[in-house]
Chain A
Amino acid sequence: MPEQNMVQALNTALHEMFADDPRVLLMGEDVGKNGGVFRVSGGLYDKFGAERVMDTPLAESGIIGTAIGLAVGGMRPIVEIQFMGFLYPGLDQLFSHASRLRTRSLGQVTVPLTLRMPYGGGIRAPEQHADSAEAYLTHTPGLKVLVPSTPYDAKGLLYAAIEDPDPVIFLEPIRCYRLGRMEVPEGRYTVPIGKARVARPGTDLSLIAWGAMVNLAEKVADKFQEAGISIEVLDLRTLAPLDKEAIGNSVAKTGRCVILHEAPRTGGLAGEITALIMETAFWDLKAPVARVTGFDVPYPAYAWEDFYMPNVSRVSRVVTETLKD
């Protein structure tokens, strides 16, 4: 089995999907000749041509709206938005149409659309290239939201997304793109939508994370391991619908939970996850559920990025607090 990083795993998945299904298309800004600014679509244009690998005009609303039409009309479009911070001109199409057409037509009109985009901070990118806006999307009924943190999950979840009959948002954590390699099977396989993954089993406390925060959670778990404390890391992988069962099981087992996200705190998903814990594992809790998040400020220019981003010491402090009896 080849060892691949996340960019390579996604690229291979795209090549395979294009070869397997003539309905599959890719559209977006600079996805063709340039292979996407992160090279996720490298080589596709040369192999499958400009009609299936479409460099579009610079217009997110136009891209998503057109993709909705293509999807309804029988194609399987994959849209790439260049960075999550540039999704906003296209949100109307997503909120008013992609997410609602099935409901409004009582199941007659469906939108099998996959919307990929790099997201998240920590790479000293220019302003407005580092947003984590997942909560806007998970708040929208009708959308599914996926976030792989490993190359294996990236490929398997992308297959699940493209085969799903409904619109799926596929968030690619920029910091995980080239973080590490692992064995990734050749050919089709799926990772189920709506299922979290125990990234590392433990008994004393649950750290719940997704995207680039999973790697941080693992670092914190390593650090506490040295002191004989066993931390379970739960990688949610799907943010909508949340895996309530996996969250409940983990917290019922450990009795303590800290949730991590790099998005701003207020209205962030940690609040929703906490409510699910109240519903599933309240009587097992030994300490209040805590969260480590970005601050309630617009994602800062990169000179302030290290202040903004949750890191090992900030997480450790909250973990220590939560471990106190």
Chain B
Amino acid sequence: MCLLRENRGPGQQPSFKGALILESWPIYRVMGDGTVAPNVVPNELALKIYQDMVLLRTFDEKALNLQRQGRVGTFPPSLGQEATEIGSAHALSKQDWMAPSYRDHGALYVHGVPFENVILFAMGRAGSLAGDVRALPSSIPIATHLPHAVGLAMAARMQGEDAVAIAYFGDGGTSEGDFHEALNFAGVFKAPVIFLCQNNGWAISTPVSRQTGSATLAQKAEAYGIRGRRVDGNDALAVYQVVRESRERALAGHGPTLIEAVTYRLGPHTTADDPTRYRDTEEVGAWRGDRDPIVRLGAYLDQQGILTADDLEKIRVTALEWVNQAVEAAEAMPPVTPLDMFEHVYATMPPRLIQQLQDFEGSDR
């Protein structure tokens, strides 16, 4: 496969210089054409990754439906990005810190947050992280959580933990100042941190060619003295391997990695977005079918004799049952109370908040 294809936004011709740079930043891939490394993921784990990817797709489709029915609010699906979401999170240990964005419920799920909590989040309920999962609430302001990941990584190292931190963000995120400050801090302090950039081609209506004049996002690592890697973000096994290896290097004291996972946002930015306003359906079509991360891993597992068509069907049915149960569980939760809104602002409610809560409860609302 042509390396030039992925990073080009509409209307941008690759310059000769860009082409040279792309050659020095090859895409790491283990499945299909252009393979650069053999797969090292054991069959059992590959199967688990596949199941979770199907679960994530099923969940997203369900959530889109619920949104149409008005049962959940604005929802950002990760359709097309399942390999990066799931593959990356399986390469982590439960001790690792995760700093996700709004689209990373797949990674959060693998890290230990049940899907019913994700649905609660989409129902406009904060506090949807499950108890002891080492993750921050999904960051809404773009890239502002990247410095947090650096700090979390430093804290883990200072306390002698066998843990790294990973931040999830998009191609658009690389334009924010906080992205650059975080990479710089990570380089200076050699923090055991992984920056996982999902280059899904778009930041709402803005193509990646409008975010940067660089030929790749991964090469930005070089300026900060840290390691950069490009990976086929639709190849779950490759993503797993690159994250795994970045984690091991970080733990061994070799410092941070910026990973650019080249993938594609198949769906709308969120349920409030209409992508036909700004991109060709043809472009979207080119990423479906053979390039779909679930189709690709399914074909690979089939080839390896790990799965039959029957198994695939079973996985889909089970996923749907799970998702339906999660929705039921979320919808059966007791309604929110005004107290929730007041009692978590500070460790101890100050007098003015106690007064405001009393006024609220004394009123007929």
Q: Hey, which bits of chain A sit against chain B, CB under 8 A?
A: 29-30, 32-35, 37, 55-62, 85-86, 88-89, 124-129, 265-266, 295-298, 300-305, 307-308, 311, 313-314, 317
Contacts and interface: CB of A to CB of B under 8 A. Distances in A.
B135 to A, nearest CB: 16
Interface string B128-141: 00000000000011
Nearest to A85: B141
Interface string B319-348: 000000000000000001010111001000
Nearest to B11: A50
Contacts of A302: 73, 124
Contacts of B140: 85, 126-129
Contacts of A33: 205, 277-278
A89 B141 contact: yes
Q: Which 10 A-B pairs have the closest CB atoms?
A: A302-B124, A34-B205, A57-B175, A58-B172, A301-B126, A303-B124, A128-B140, A59-B175, A33-B278, A58-B175
Contacts of A88: 141
Nearest to B10: A33
B341 A124 contact: no
Contact of A62 (B123, B175, B352, B364): B175
B360 A295 contact: yes
Contacts of B353: 295-297
A68 to B, nearest CB: 15
B356 to A, nearest CB: 5
A87 to B, nearest CB: 10
Contacts of A295: 341-342, 353, 356, 360
Contacts of B126: 127, 300-301, 303
B93 interface: no
A86 B205 CA distance: 17
8 contacts: A57-B206, A295-B341, A295-B353, A296-B353, A297-B341, A297-B345, A303-B123, A317-B364
B215 to A, nearest CB: 16
Contacts of B204: 29-30, 34, 37
Nearest to B335: A303
B363 interface: yes
B352 A296 contact: yes
B220 to A, nearest CB: 13
A297 B205 CA distance: 33
B144 interface: yes
A99 B142 CA distance: 25
Of residues B143, B173, B205, B336, which shows the largest number of chain A Cβ atoms within 10 Å of its Cβ? B205
A126 B340 CA distance: 18
Interface in B263-283: 270, 272-273, 277-278
